[in-house]
């Protein structure tokens, strides 16, 4: 019998770790370092460019001011700082998953001891696959999306101070393009995410007799074919995300640039330089945010199953 997948909200999956809010909030708090740094660097780009122009015109490369030198160093090492913060966040989230796995195991113990529809294959799949899906497709993308949404906001605030109308043109166009893409792929992600998770449980069941029998009328070849096809769909959408965002970004940037050329061409160089830095920071952020929405949709089945299973131990 086919199960209906309950659509979950953005933060619904956090109910599974509501007893670990302190750890999750600490992971989010670590992101404020990156948010503050992105805001400072974005609004400081024109200042850095002016300082570099003065040095080039004077020919004295020792005239650079200490603030400008510090900003240049921060721009260079921004990816390293971001990696260190990301490492800290992943470590916290893995600790959260470990505690969730204990809860899943406890619920399975209750089912086994009370002989209430216990399935070793289902329990193993919950512990091995569902937990990893929850972490890799929902929890980690969520923490990254929260961080990157903050980065996008502070960068946009910095851009709005300098170029409000071009920013509004750019942002509104991006929202329209990416919303259409997300709506189009949502159903495919949800359906194939369920298919893929169920194939893992079917493989465990069929392995008990050397893959000779059928499981619910399906042979191992049929299960592996479903696994391959679902993985293909999910992989194609995931890989295509990068190109969709790049295309949308370039098109929207062209619209904003056209406005600058037609209205205030004298600031074209400063505008292009500022947006170039913003693009380096925002392109990965857009990818991360949209990847979270895709991952959440893919993981909805796993989250619903984990939520139902965990209630046994409450």
Note the pLDDT tens digit of each residue in 67-96.
778 888 888 888 888 888 888 888 888 898
- Does domain 12-313 correspond to CATH entry 1.20.1560.10? yes
pLDDT in tens, 3-29: 556 677 788 888 888 888 888 888 888
Secondary structure (3-state) at 218: strand
- Of 6, 34, 38, 62, give the one whose Cα is nearest residue 305: 6
Specify which residues 218 forms β-bridges with: 215
Predicted confidence band of residue 1 (pLDDT cuts 50, 70, 90): very low
Q: Radius of gyration over alpha carbons of the chain, in Å?
A: 24
The 10s digit of each residue's pLDDT in 232-282 is 988 888 888 888 888 888 888 888 888 888 888 888 887 887 777 777 777
Of 175, 159, 139, 138, nearest to 281 by C-alpha is: 159
pTM, two decimal places: 0.67
**Could you give the percent of the chain with pLDDT greater than 90?**
1
Instruction: Tell me if residue 119 falls in helix, strand or coil.
Output: coil
- Cα distances from 68 to residues 44, 71, 73, 165, 299, in angstroms, run 9, 5, 9, 28, 45
Q: Exposed e or buried b for every residue in 269-297, given b needs 16+ CB within 10 A?
A: ebbeebbebbbebbebbbbbbbbbbbbbb
Confidence (pLDDT) at 265: 84
Chain-centroid distance, C-alpha 121: 30
List the domain boundaries for the chain: 12-313
Q: Assign residue 272 a region: left if phi > 0, alpha if psi is -120 to 50, beta otherwise?
A: alpha
8 Å CB contact between 226 and 195: yes
The percent helix, strand, coil of the chain (3-state, each to 5) is 90, 0, 10
Highest mean pLDDT among 30-44, 116-130, 192-206, 300-314: 192-206
Place of tokens 């995300």: 241
pLDDT band at 39 (very low <50, low <70, confident <90, very high): confident
Q: What is the pLDDT of residue 121?
A: 74
**DSSP letter at 215?**
B
Angle of helix 66-114 relative to helix 21-30, nearest 10 degrees, comes to 160
What is the four-CA torsion angle of 253, 255, 261, 266, rounded to 10 degrees? -40
Q: In the chain, what's the furthest Cα-to-Cα distance?
A: 84
Task: Check whether 2 has a pLDDT greater than 70.
Answer: no
216 vs 8: CA distance, rounded Å: 28
Nearest in space to 301 (alpha carbons), one of 169, 142, 165, 133: 133
Residue 272 · residue 163 · CB < 8 Å: no
Decide if 41 contacts 33 (C-beta within 8 A): no
Residue 314 has pLDDT above 70, yes or no: no
Q: Mean pLDDT over all residues of the chain? A: 81
| pLDDT attached to residue 236 | 87
Both tokens of residue 186? 């949502």
Q: pLDDT per residue over 90-100, tens digit each? A: 888 889 888 88
255 in Cβ contact with 170 (< 8 Å)? yes
Q: Which residues of 27-54 are buried (b: 16+ CB within 10 A; e: fewer)?
A: beebbeebbebbbebbbbbeebbebeee
């Amino acid at each position: 019998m086919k199960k209906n997948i309950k659509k979950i909200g953005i933060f619904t999956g956090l109910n599974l770790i509501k007893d670990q809010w302190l750890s999750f909030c600490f992971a989010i708090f670590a992101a404020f370092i990156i948010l503050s740094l992105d805001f400072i660097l974005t609004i400081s780009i024109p200042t850095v460019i002016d300082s570099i122009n003065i040095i080039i015109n004077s020919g004295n490369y020792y005239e650079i001011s200490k603030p400008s030198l510090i900003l240049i160093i921060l721009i260079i090492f921004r990816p390293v700082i971001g990696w260190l913060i990301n490492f800290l966040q992943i470590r916290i989230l893995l600790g959260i998953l470990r505690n969730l796995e204990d809860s899943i195991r406890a619920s399975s113990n209750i089912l086994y001891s009370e002989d209430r529809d216990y399935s070793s294959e289902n329990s193993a799949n919950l512990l091995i696959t569902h937990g990893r899906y929850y972490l890799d497709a929902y929890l980690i993308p969520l923490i990254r999306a929260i961080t990157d949404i903050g980065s996008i906001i502070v960068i946009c605030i910095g851009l709005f101070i300098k170029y409000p109308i071009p920013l509004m043109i750019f942002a509104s166009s991006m929202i329209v393009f990416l919303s259409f893409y997300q709506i189009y792929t949502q159903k495919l992600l949800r359906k194939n995410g369920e298919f893929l998770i169920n194939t893992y449980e079917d493989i465990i069941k069929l392995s008990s007799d050397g893959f000779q029998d059928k499981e619910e009328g399906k042979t191992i070849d049929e299960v592996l074919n479903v696994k391959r096809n679902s993985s293909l769909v999910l992989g194609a959408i995931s890989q295509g995300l990068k190109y969709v965002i790049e295309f949308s970004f370039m098109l929207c940037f062209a619209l904003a640039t056209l406005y600058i050329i037609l209205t205030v061409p004298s600031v074209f160089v400063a505008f292009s330089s500022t947006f170039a830095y913003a693009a380096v920071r925002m392109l990965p952020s857009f990818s991360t945010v949209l990847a979270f929405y895709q991952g959440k949709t893919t993981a909805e089945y796993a989250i619903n199953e984990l939520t139902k299973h965990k209630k046994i131990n409450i």
